[in-house]
Chain A
Amino acid sequence: MTSVVSARGVSKHFGAVRAVDEVSFEIEQGKILGLIGPNGAGKTTLLKAVLGLTDCDGELSVLGLDPFKQRKELLKNICFIADVAVLPRWIKVTQLLEFVESVHPNFSRKRAEGFLSQTKVRSDAKVRELSKGMVVQLHLSIIMAIDAKLLVLDEPTLGLDIIFRKEFYSNLLNDYFDEKRTILITTHQVEEIENLLTDIMFINDGKILLDSPMEAIADSYVELTTSGEDAIKARGLGPIAEHEMFGKSVLLFEGVSRENLGGLGELRTPSVADLFVAKVKGARK
């Protein structure tokens, strides 16, 4: 597998605050990695370092390039949507397409116009005249028309209604993603994207709490819903987290086989959101 992003001991300090703290990871080609973390965890700083928008300590290589020093070269093969509001409001859709076509060697205007024709975005409209959802559609149409190797999405659907959010990810998967591309995505609405992720990474206080393929989550983690005597027995097996739901105890285990827990209650693979909460709370203890 080709490594698209390779980080070795990457740190970024803002004064005394360690936004990213000695982080090491690899992202391989063809993966959709979800980077999940609470506000202020260091997600955006890490993404900015990957995009070459901020410098950092340690070794960071993206598509074999130093992102900060070789940003222009890098941005020919990497795209990002940092936030829904970043398209300039004064620009016309046609001007935007013309500009990207002029500066981006891997952009296909025809492809972008094809995507836009499936939306209600008028080509003579200015960005300020478009709804928030339409601005995202426009941005996504541009991004999907760029033949990039890595796509970075930082809260791409923030503030959008559920229909636009579903459409966004559906377009991304059906019209864009293939085994040669890699997507790195952060979002708070983790439950909406967990089905499309191939890998997941949790970050908190600048440190990585979990870095795992999605299919390994089911092997490593199990959630047990139980009560009474069984709950007491289960607690003896060292759950990493526990909460109450409808009068029952919900315990989360890491590295405990399902056979050991089978007779104690109902088993299921934890959701990413539950796992995330357990990991973050565990790290704070």
Chain B
Amino acid sequence: MRRVPVSVSSSRVIYDALKAGGVRLVSALPETWLVHLIRMAEDDPDMTLVRLAKEEEGVGISAGAHLAGVKSAMLMQNHGFLASINGIVSCAQLYRIPLLMLISYRGEFGERDPWQTEGGGVTEDLLRALRIPFSYLDDPSHVARRLHKAQTLAQSANRPVALLLCRDLMWEE
């Protein structure tokens, strides 16, 4: 496999924060920035990793897990978020499901892949249009705190929240 400078240490900090928050199920669709996080979930006998064909499935899976009392998180690229919007609106928002979405924020400043740039440009506006509270994870020092706060709001509001995994956190170059 092509070697990519995705930060193992930042991925570990994020993963540990998910575990500290009681997350026991993670749905994911692989993308470059998420490789270490997905491997960590895969190697963890206490974590159920659900590999998806398309990200929107993860909304239904997390909704089911939540109603059954299991905390979950979705790992996806921002284009996966775009692909999930109907599920987010007409399952998670309609039914007040506290989705925790960790979205790799491709296409922001520093992006070299031309194909990521359109999605990058619309991600924040779409989150705002959907009234999904979001914050940035761009430095390891605040990951645990922000993730905890995001999860707290999701649970008190019974609504989706998003954390944008930023280049400064995920990419070591």
Do A and B truly interact?
no
